Structure 1
Amino acid sequence: MSKSVYALIDCNNFYASCERVFDPQLRAKPIAILSNNDGCVIARSDEAKKAGVEMGIPEFKIRDLIKEKNIVLKSSNYALYGDMSRRVMETLRHLTPKVEPYSIDEAFMEFPKLIVEDLQTFGNKIKSTVKQWTGLPVSVGIATSKTLAKIANETAKSDPQYDGVLNLVDNPKLDALLKNTKLTDIWGMGAGLSQRLFKEGIQNAFQLKQQISRKEWVRSKLSVTGLRTVMELNGEPCLEIENIVDPRKGIMTSRSFGKAVTDFGDLSEAIAQFTSIAAEKLRAQNSVASLLHVTLRTNKYSDYKSKYKYGMEFPLHVPTANTSHLIKCGHACLDKLYQNDLRYKKAAVILTGILPKSEVQQDLFSKNQYTASEHNLMQKVDDINTKYGSDTTHFASTGINKSWQMKQQFLSPRYTSRWDDIKQAQT
């Protein structure tokens, strides 16, 4: 029997719930969150789902439904959602040090079974604490493995009788629940593997669990990953909590423009802005990059026979995370890519060849050394922006008015990261 217990905490309707925390008038109203440039629906409240709003549908196709059902539209506010996610993770770490963020609105927790007398009560404590400290509703699933915790969470969220919390440890209803769990609803079990199991007469999680006595057969059919899933369904934890996040091998910042861009100055500002964002992410994982890539895109549907994607790489002889130097490299790419007779719809800056800062070998003859003083300066800029809001301190080349920015006509104030937005919301 496992000495540890796992819990999966999942924020309910996360994007819509974040909007409601700071605007109580939105409670119980149908809310639809739109993608970049207010294009398609990427998230919905329960009320919007019941009103018939489909995931991924373009906003212009449901304008009649929006009026008929009084659906509230919101532009995606990633600054707000990201900060609220951090608050949830910090709250969970007050309850146990072993927390693994799984996505922006989900996290696994691990805690010794012996320290918790009543797991159901502890699950309710997790739920109430997150609600009290952040204002966000969550569902909690508890089990002896991460795979079972995932199943418990989905059930707690969808079945009202559990009121958002389900403990499957020593639960006599476990096997009955697994019998009602489709193979495709098991964490990590895709359609391909499910089809392979269907042919063997295995149709649900309980039947897959029973294959524990045929480990070699499972390994041959589903590989080691599938065998781990079978073991986890039997309450044998194979997937540990990952406290250390592996540094990314590539960092991309990409945006669609609110309108087609033809002016070189506007494109220059956009490239500088995207480079700044990518460089900040690079420094956050204490890394440097040795290659910068700039991509420009036009509308491929306006003339499908013509080229619509233009890209160029800029090798960095000495890896760096200095925003100023990276912006210069990005602008050098733009100088060669730009054509004044094209209408650009999107741009991207990609940093690759990423290395830990500590492993960089300096070049004695290079003028672009990433020195300790440069790193400290960049770190101070990051600290100010973290404390007072993004873009509090920024490079002049990123512009001020930024007419090229993507369309966000339904954007709510960034309550947690911009003082100006907070003051505007209060007036």
Structure 2
Amino acid sequence: MVDCNNFYASCERVFNPRLEDKAIVILSNNDGCVIARSEEAKQLDIPMGAPEFKYRKFFRENDMVVRSSNYPLYGDMSRRVMETLRHLTHDIEVYSIDEAFAELSTQTYSDLKEYGRIIKETVYQWTGLPVSVGIAPSKTLAKIANETAKRNSIYDGVLNLCNYPGTDQVLKNMPLQKVWGIGQGLTVRLNRFGIKTAFDLKQKVDHKRWIRKHLNVTGLRTVLELNGLPCMKLSEALESRKGILTSRMFGKPLYELAPIQEAVATYISRGAEKLRAQGSVASNLQVTLIGDKFKNPKSKYKYGAYTSFKVPTAHTPTLIRAGKALVESVHLPNTKYKKAAIMLTGLIPHSEIQMDLFDRERYTQEQFRLMECIDQINTKHGRNTAAFAATGLHRQGSEEANWQMNQNYLSKRYTTEWDDIMVAKTK
């Protein structure tokens, strides 16, 4: 398991070395609450989910660095880390934006700890991001090794539990709730049986009937994995999504129909990109507008509408037209809306479309090639290089786009925006 340390904060530091050793917090959409912290911020006891407005004075008094979520930067840095890992190992499984499982072979390096050290140093050299490496014969143990290496400086970011004599001691120091796949509810239940650490759970390997009764098959796999018996294979391919949801709070409450339609068109455009990226088409579209539920708690504050397509599609103009019509059908004048959400469902592979001879909106080959061309342009030159007029012709952050997110602490998109690329100054 390779895991980037304090990923969002580390991404901010790569292009701004002055942030090194500074306490950094990353805020959620619309700068609402804390979603990531550097180690220095954690030492100041800033809790996850802390509301920005409540801690604003504390941030200022402690000279903390506050940043809005810069997802284009984080996503691109994640891609660079994963590409680096693919150069170093023959098989990886991307687990999250900052984590990946990698299969190591002793044919490459006989010393697995040295292999882990090379991975750690190479990722840092190529991307500037610090990582921790946990090595073990199973995924569950690799996660524990990674967590231990990250929290204990004696391991210098790399811990190999393969044939490691201190494995049981590591498991004794690992609280049960931190074991992969063991949630809070299951932890409480197992505590009643005196199982409080990963080592305690490991010892139940000979009581398979008890495990199935209290933990089911998934729990049995966890126990076996804690004993070094791999039950979860490495998978390069990610499962296709069953539904695609795009939802955002508006930068300020909206009343008028036009800006709400523009926001929904933007969300649909982004959802259609994700749809095409996994080679799927959608059969249904749902649009939901969300008002102020606190103004009158007993009154309705969610307004949704739904439509189906005779022929599933990933054609953005078709989806936008349907979305704008749905917004118009549920929009009420003089009503304050704070958020909108779109949901694409009934997803099937593009290759399995069942055509309708009499449907004028069928997903034609010309539409497919047009969408493919637009996606290629945006991939090469940056998102929204080619965009649909329905999403608005203004740039993010302009006064015209008053529905867009508040990002008052946003850093530059150093790797995905031409205007933000760093250049050397000349005398």
Fold similarity call, TM over 0.5: yes
Mapped to 2, the partners of 1:32 and 1:182 lie a distance apart of 26
Name the residue aligned to 1:352: 345
C-alpha RMSD of matched pairs (Å): 1.5
Cα offsets for 1:80-139 (capped at 9, x unmatched): 111111111111111123111111111111123444311111011110111111110001
TM-score normalised by length of structure 1:
0.96
Question: SS at the partner of 2:311?
Answer: strand
Taking the TM superposition and a 5 Å limit, the aligned residue runs for 1:75-224 are: 75-224=68-217
**Is the Cα–Cα contact under 8 Å of residues 99 and 108 in structure 1 kept in the other structure?**
yes
For the pair 1:338 / 2:331, whether they are aligned, the reply is: yes
Name the residue aligned to 1:255: 248
Number of residues of Structure 1 aligned to a counterpart in Structure 2: 420
Unaligned runs of 5+ in 1: 1-7
Cα offsets for 1:345-402 (capped at 9, x unmatched): 1001110010001111111111011112211110110111111110010001100232
Amino acid at match of 1:420: D
Name the residue aligned to 1:4: none
Name the residue aligned to 1:5: none
Note the C-alpha offset of 1:64.
Answer: 2.0
Name the residue aligned to 1:366: 359
Mapped to 2, the partners of 1:350 and 1:282 lie a distance apart of 11
Note the C-alpha offset of 1:226.
Answer: 1.0
For the pair 1:21 / 2:14, whether they are aligned, the reply is: yes
Mapped to 1, the partners of 2:287 and 2:264 lie a distance apart of 8
Correspondent of 2:392 among 399, 407, 427: 399
Cα offsets for 1:136-159 (capped at 9, x unmatched): 000110001100000000000000
Mapped to 2, the partners of 1:201 and 1:176 lie a distance apart of 18
Cα offsets for 1:239-296 (capped at 9, x unmatched): 1111111110100111101101112211111011000000000000000000000000
Name the residue aligned to 2:310: 317
**Is the Cα–Cα contact under 8 Å of residues 212 and 219 in structure 2 kept in the other structure?**
yes
For the pair 1:63 / 2:56, whether they are aligned, the reply is: yes
Note the C-alpha offset of 1:49.
Answer: 1.5
Question: SS at the partner of 2:104?
Answer: strand
Cα offsets for 1:36-92 (capped at 9, x unmatched): 111101111111112232211101111221121111110001111111111111111
Note the C-alpha offset of 1:28.
Answer: 1.1
For the pair 1:74 / 2:67, whether they are aligned, the reply is: yes
Question: SS at the partner of 1:269?
Answer: helix
Question: SS at the partner of 1:277?
Answer: helix
Amino acid at match of 2:80: R
Mapped to 2, the partners of 1:315 and 1:414 lie a distance apart of 37
Note the C-alpha offset of 1:227.
Answer: 1.0
Name the residue aligned to 1:327: 320
Mapped to 1, the partners of 2:172 and 2:44 lie a distance apart of 31
TM-score normalised by length of structure 2:
0.96
Identity %: 57
